[in-house]
């Protein structure tokens, strides 16, 4: 039963990941590529230096993951080796940019699918075909829209505060938003709903880390288009994820 639940979540995530790859190609990826043309014109010294230090500090970590993944990869080890020694990190196993995106979408999709199923199990509120879209919408609220209030989706080349600070704020906001949404949506008591709203508002009152200098070589119009496109694409991803999770749960967990 447990294995089936987790498998259903995994399958839903993988399907949603494939869907997400197609959806991204429509609008989000072209905007990223467009922004990178401007990013290249910048003072430029920062970008390569940053990636280099990252590469040094993380060799151990990436090689473990790389070994696990290379065991599963259809690409030959020699080719993979070549890819890893490219300058500035390079894409795993020398895959094309698109394959890298597809792989990352599959991993992220499976991850979000499991997180959604995990939340449903812990809250004891099953995902079904009927409420799947709502589950997905709540996931999108917690993971994308609410954090985006403080840290909108960025294009390459946008100014931003320290990466570590932003990641901490982002994760904390998601955890608080999930807890808050649970209290607001699934609990009846008025007190719980009020505490939930406080939890949701708390990280925004505290404030997201902001860059000190907001000048950017990337046109603001591109940024606005990208923020809307990214949020719309992730909303579609989460609704697909929720509905497929609900369908698989209805189909294989109840009747089997």
Partner 1 sequence: MATTTVSSVPLSLNDRITAGILALLIGGFLVFGAGLANSAVLHDTAHDVRHSYGFPCH
Whether the CB-CB separation of 145 and 174 falls below 8 Å is answered with no
Task: By CB under 8 A, name the one of 70, 120, 245, 249 that touches partner 1.
Answer: 120
Specify the residue, 134 or 151, whose C-beta has the smaller distance to partner 1: 151
Q: Of 17, 246, 6, give the one whose Cα is nearest residue 134.
A: 246
In whole angstroms, what is the distance from residue 203 CA to residue 170 CA? 9
96 binds partner 1 (CB under 8 A): no
Task: By CB under 8 A, name the one of 133, 160, 192, 235 that touches partner 1.
Answer: 160
Least separation, in Å, of the C-beta of 198 and partner 1? 23
167 binds partner 1 (CB under 8 A): yes
For residues 102-113, one letter each, b for 16 or more C-beta atoms within 10 angstroms of the residue's C-beta and e for the rest, the string is bbebbeebbebb
233 binds partner 1 (CB under 8 A): yes
Letters for 10-29 (x = contact with partner 1 by CB under 8 A, - = none) are --------------x---xx
236 binds partner 1 (CB under 8 A): no
108 binds partner 1 (CB under 8 A): yes
Task: By CB under 8 A, name the one of 43, 45, 61, 213 that touches partner 1.
Answer: 61
Specify the residue, 76 or 167, whose C-beta has the smaller distance to partner 1: 167
Least separation, in Å, of the C-beta of 172 and partner 1? 12
Question: Phi and psi (nearest 5°) for 92?
Answer: -50, 135
Concatenated DSSP letters for the chain? Answer: -HHHHHHHHHHHHHHHHHHHHHHHHHTHHHHHHHHHHHHHTS--SHHHHHHHHHHHHTHHHHHHHHHHHHHH-SS-HHHHHHHHTSTTS--GGG--HHHHHHHHHHHHHHHHHHHHHHHHHHHT----TTTHHHHHHHHHIIIIIHHHHHSPPPPTT---S-HHHHHHHHHHHHHHHHHHHIIIII---HHHHHHHHHHHHHHHHH-----S----SS-HHHHHHHHHHHHHHHHHHHHHHHHHHHHHIIIIII--
91 binds partner 1 (CB under 8 A): yes
66 binds partner 1 (CB under 8 A): yes
Task: By CB under 8 A, name the one of 15, 115, 181, 222 that touches partner 1.
Answer: 115
245 binds partner 1 (CB under 8 A): no
The span of 70-78, 115-123, 191-199, 213-221 binding partner 1 (CB under 8 A) equals 115-123
191 binds partner 1 (CB under 8 A): no
Residues that bind partner 1 (CB under 8 A): 1-2, 5-6, 9, 24, 28-29, 32, 50-51, 54-55, 57-58, 61-62, 65-66, 84, 88-92, 95, 97, 100-101, 103-105, 107-108, 110-122, 124, 144, 147-148, 151-156, 160, 163, 166-167, 170-171, 230-231, 233-234, 253-254, 256
């Amino acid at each position: 039963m447990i294995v089936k639940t987790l498998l259903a979540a995994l399958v839903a995530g993988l399907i949603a990941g494939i869907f997400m790859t197609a959806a991204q190609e429509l609008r989000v990826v072209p905007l990223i590529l467009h922004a990178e043309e401007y990013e290249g014109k910048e003072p430029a010294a920062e970008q390569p230096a940053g990636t280099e230090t990252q590469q040094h500090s993380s060799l151990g970590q990436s090689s473990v993951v790389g070994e696990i993944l290379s065991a599963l990869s259809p690409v030959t080890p020699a080719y993979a080796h070549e890819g890893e020694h490219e300058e500035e990190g390079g894409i795993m196993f020398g895959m094309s940019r698109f394959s890298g995106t597809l792989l990352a979408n599959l991993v992220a999709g499976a991850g979000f699918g499991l997180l959604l199923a995990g939340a449903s199990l812990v809250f004891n509120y099953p995902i079904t075909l009927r409420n799947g879209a709502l589950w997905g919408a709540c996931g999108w609220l917690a993971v994308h829209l609410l954090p985006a209030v403080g840290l909108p989706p960025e294009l390459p080349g946008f100014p931003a505060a320290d990466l570590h600070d932003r990641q901490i704020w982002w994760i904390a906001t998601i955890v608080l938003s999930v807890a808050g949404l649970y209290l607001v949506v699934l609990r009846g008591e008025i007190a719980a709903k009020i505490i939930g709203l406080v939890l949701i508002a708390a990280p925004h009152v505290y404030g997201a880390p902001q860059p000190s200098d907001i000048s950017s070589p990337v046109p603001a119009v591109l940024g606005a288009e990208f923020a809307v496109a990214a949020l719309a694409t992730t909303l579609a991803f989460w609704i697909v994820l929720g509905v497929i999770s609900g369908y698989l749960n209805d189909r294989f967990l109840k009747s089997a």
